[in-house]
Amino acid sequence: MTDVRSLNHAEKVFLAGSMRNILCEDSAFTEAEMKDLTSLSRRLHFHDFESYLDEFEKNLPDDDAFRSEATKITDPRAQRLILDALYELEVRKPTPENERDGVFGMLSSLWKLAK
């Protein structure tokens, strides 16, 4: 995995929101998940994560807007970086493997990429 400096502005906004969505899928946001998010943001050099998340929440308020924006992420390298980051968060969740069909599954399918 590389870092977010290779992403354009729209891709960073989408990544920030996707990271939040992955962790909020089960409606619980734990202290451990916050630590995972902080750690991953640092490794990705995503120092301005909060500002991108704020923009995501302002401009993509619902699932339809999220899915529409996902179709605009067309660079395969950006898609892979986003999925790799989301996978790191997804595998830490206490969700059985066969139930992992939320945000990560939707994007994998849409972009025709697998982990």
Residue-wise pLDDT tens digits, 77-91:
999 999 999 988 887
Q: Which residue has the higher pLDDT, 94 or 45?
A: 45
Number of domains within the chain: 1
Distance CA 39, CA 96 (A): 23
| 98 pLDDT above the threshold of 50 | no
How many CA within 13 A on the CB side of residue 58? 7
Residue-wise pLDDT tens digits, 2-40:
789 999 999 999 999 999 888 887 777 788 888 888 889
Report the pLDDT value the prediction gives residue 77, as an integer from 0 to 100: 94
Note whether 18 and 87 are within 8 A (CB): no
- Domain with 34, as residue range(s), is 4-111
